[in-house]
Structure 1
Amino acid sequence: MELLSQISNVNIKKILITDSFSKDFLGEYTIHIKRLEKDKLNLISENLIEIEKFFIKYEKYRIKNENK
């Protein structure tokens, strides 16, 4: 939590990838992934579709708002 607190104070855009809704305040953007399991190797690759969806939506948003 200390590291997350330090990162949240850095003046940059942050993307949070989490399986919890309770940490949404830590990033400007949040990608929700399926619930992680204890005592199991949880690979980020299993969630690449959700991450790709986020970047596609973000790209569309930027293009739409680029000339405003």
Structure 2
Amino acid sequence: MTRKYIDCREFPSEMHCSVAISADSDQELLEAAVQHAVTVHHHADSPELRTQLAGLFHDGSPPVASPRAA
């Protein structure tokens, strides 16, 4: 099983969020990413948000160094 991750450092924001989240399953990662997006970034939980976040998942583990912004 390949770990998956999503990394806020890829997306510039006013708060300069440096959170990267990883998990063993897409569903677990999606739930954690949605919670983060809603709580920290004040997004509304919606099917569109969930689809967008799932499309940003990467295989593996987040890099130690900050990735280049998208």
* TM-score above 0.5: no
Structure (1/2) with the larger helix percentage: 1
The higher-RCO structure (CA 8 Å, 6+ apart) is: 2
Q: TM-score, normalised by structure 1?
A: 0.29
